[in-house]
A and B are shown apart, each in its own frame.
Chain A
Amino acid sequence: MIKVNRREREWEQNLTVDLLLQKCKYTFPLIMVKINGKYVPKEKYKNTLIKDNDDVQVIHSIAGG
Chain B
Amino acid sequence: MFRENKSMPESDKGRKLLASFEFEPGKVEKGYTDRRLYINLSENKIEEKPIDLQVKETFTGGRGYGMWYLWNAVSSKTKWNDPENEIIFCTGPICGVTQYSGTGKTHVVSLSPETETVNDNNAGGYFAPFLKFSGWDLLEIQGKAKQDVIIFIDGNKGKVSIKEIPVINSDTYLLIEKLTEKYADNEKDRRNISIISSGRGAENTNLGILNVSWYDVRRKHVRVKQAGRGGTGSVFRDKKILAIVIKYSGVSANSNNVASPELIRKAGERLTKEILTLDHVQNGMREIGTVNLLDHMQNYECLPVHNFKFGSHPDAFKVNSKVWHQRMTQKQAGDSCWVGCALRCSHGVDNFALFTGPLKGEKVLVDGPEYETTAGFAGNCGCFDPDFVLEANFYCDNYGIDTIGVSTTMAFLMECYENGIINKEITGGLELNFGNTKAVLELIHQMAEGRGFGKIAGLGIRQIKKILVEKYRADAKFLQDIGMECKGMEFSEYVTKESLAQQGGYGIANKGPQHDESWLIFMDQVNNQIPTFEDKAEALHYFPLFRTWFSIVGLCKLPWNDIEPQDNKQKYHGMEAAKVPEHVENYCWLFEGVTGKHLTPEELILQSERVHNFQRLFNLRMGFGTREHDVVPYRAVGPVTAEEYESRRELYDQQLQEVINFDIEGKTTEEKMKVLRAYREEQYQMLCDAVYKRRGWEANGVPTLETIKKLKIDFPEIVELVKKYQS
B577 touches A5 (CB 8 A): no
B299 touches A62 (CB 8 A): no
Interface positions, chain B 185-242, Cβ under 8 Å from A, are: none
In the complex, chain A residues whose CB is within 8 Å of the CB of B570: 32, 39
Contact with A along B696-709 (1 / 0, CB 8 A): 00000000000000
**A60 CA to B520 CA, complexed, in Å:** 11
In the complex, chain B residues whose CB is within 8 Å of the CB of A64: 293, 494, 515, 519, 521-522
B564 touches A61 (CB 8 A): yes
In the complex, chain B residues whose CB is within 8 Å of the CB of A29: 281-283
In the complex, chain A residues whose CB is within 8 Å of the CB of B623: none
**A28 CA to B564 CA, complexed, in Å:** 14
Interface positions, chain A 31-60, Cβ under 8 Å from B, are: 32, 39, 57-60
**A58 CA to B522 CA, complexed, in Å:** 10
**A25 CA to B300 CA, complexed, in Å:** 7
Counting CB contacts under 8 A, is B568 at the interface? yes
* Selected interface stretch from B38-46, B523-531, B640-648: B523-531
Counting CB contacts under 8 A, is B296 at the interface? yes
A61 to chain B, nearest CB (A): 6
In the complex, chain A residues whose CB is within 8 Å of the CB of B431: none
A61-B564, A63-B562 given; A5·B527 CB < 8 A: yes
Contact with A along B501-522 (1 / 0, CB 8 A): 0000000000000011011111
Contact with B along A1-41 (1 / 0, CB 8 A): 00001110000000000000000011111101000000100
In the complex, chain B residues whose CB is within 8 Å of the CB of A26: 299, 526
Of B516, B522, B577, chain A has the most CB atoms within 10 Å of the CB of B522
Interface positions, chain B 569-603, Cβ under 8 Å from A, are: 569-570, 577-578, 580
A60 touches B295 (CB 8 A): no
Counting CB contacts under 8 A, is B466 at the interface? no
Contact with A along B343-360 (1 / 0, CB 8 A): 000000000000000000
Counting CB contacts under 8 A, is B330 at the interface? no
In the complex, chain B residues whose CB is within 8 Å of the CB of A61: 522, 561, 564, 568-569, 577-578, 580
B74 to chain A, nearest CB (A): 29
**A59 CA to B572 CA, complexed, in Å:** 12
Interface SS of chain A: loop
A32 to chain B, nearest CB (A): 4
B564 touches A65 (CB 8 A): no
A9 to chain B, nearest CB (A): 12
B706 to chain A, nearest CB (A): 30
Counting CB contacts under 8 A, is B557 at the interface? yes
A62 touches B528 (CB 8 A): no
B527 touches A59 (CB 8 A): yes
Q: Which residue of B lies closest to A7 (CB)?
A: B528
In the complex, chain A residues whose CB is within 8 Å of the CB of B543: 62
A29-B282, A29-B283 given; A63·B527 CB < 8 A: no
- The count of chain B contact residues (Cβ–Cβ below 8 Å) is 33
In the complex, chain B residues whose CB is within 8 Å of the CB of A25: 299-300
In the complex, chain B residues whose CB is within 8 Å of the CB of A59: 527, 529, 569, 577
Q: Which residue of B lies closest to A27 (CB)?
A: B299
Q: Which residue of B lies closest to A62 (CB)?
A: B578
B374 to chain A, nearest CB (A): 14
B526 touches A60 (CB 8 A): yes
A30 touches B531 (CB 8 A): no
In the complex, chain B residues whose CB is within 8 Å of the CB of A62: 519-520, 522-523, 543, 561, 578
A30 to chain B, nearest CB (A): 5
In the complex, chain B residues whose CB is within 8 Å of the CB of A65: 494, 515-516, 518-519, 557
**A30 CA to B283 CA, complexed, in Å:** 8
Of A25, A57, A61, chain B has the most CB atoms within 10 Å of the CB of A61
**A64 CA to B302 CA, complexed, in Å:** 11
Of B293, B527, B529, B570, chain A has the most CB atoms within 10 Å of the CB of B527
Interface positions, chain B 293-309, Cβ under 8 Å from A, are: 293, 295-296, 299-300
Contact with A along B282-324 (1 / 0, CB 8 A): 1100000000010110011000000000000000000000000
In the complex, chain A residues whose CB is within 8 Å of the CB of B580: 61
**A7 CA to B564 CA, complexed, in Å:** 27
In the complex, chain B residues whose CB is within 8 Å of the CB of A28: 296, 300, 522
A27-B299, A65-B515, A65-B516 given; A60·B283 CB < 8 A: no
B223 to chain A, nearest CB (A): 23
Q: Which residue of B lies closest to A59 (CB)?
A: B527
A21 to chain B, nearest CB (A): 11
B564 touches A30 (CB 8 A): yes
Q: Which residue of A lies closest to B529 (CB)?
A: A59
**A29 CA to B282 CA, complexed, in Å:** 5
B300 touches A6 (CB 8 A): no
B37 to chain A, nearest CB (A): 32
A20 to chain B, nearest CB (A): 14
A19 to chain B, nearest CB (A): 15
Taking a contact as CB atoms closer than 8 A, the residue among B494, B522, B531 that contacts A6 in the complex is B531
Q: Which residue of B lies closest to A3 (CB)?
A: B528
**A44 CA to B487 CA, complexed, in Å:** 48
B527 touches A58 (CB 8 A): yes
In the complex, chain A residues whose CB is within 8 Å of the CB of B521: 64
* Cross-chain pairs A/B with CB under 8 angstroms, 8 sampled: A5-B526, A30-B282, A58-B527, A59-B569, A60-B526, A64-B293, A64-B519, A64-B521
Chain B interfacial positions (CB closer than 8 Å to A): 281-283, 293, 295-296, 299-300, 494, 515-516, 518-523, 526-529, 531, 543, 557, 561-562, 564, 568-570, 577-578, 580
The 9 closest A-B pairs by CB, nearest first: A65-B519, A65-B515, A32-B569, A60-B522, A25-B299, A5-B528, A64-B519, A62-B578, A28-B296
A57-B527, A61-B568, A65-B515 given; name 11 further pairs at CB < 8 Å. Answer: A5-B529, A27-B299, A29-B282, A32-B569, A59-B529, A60-B527, A61-B569, A63-B519, A64-B293, A64-B494, A64-B515
Chain A interfacial positions (CB closer than 8 Å to B): 5-7, 25-30, 32, 39, 57-65
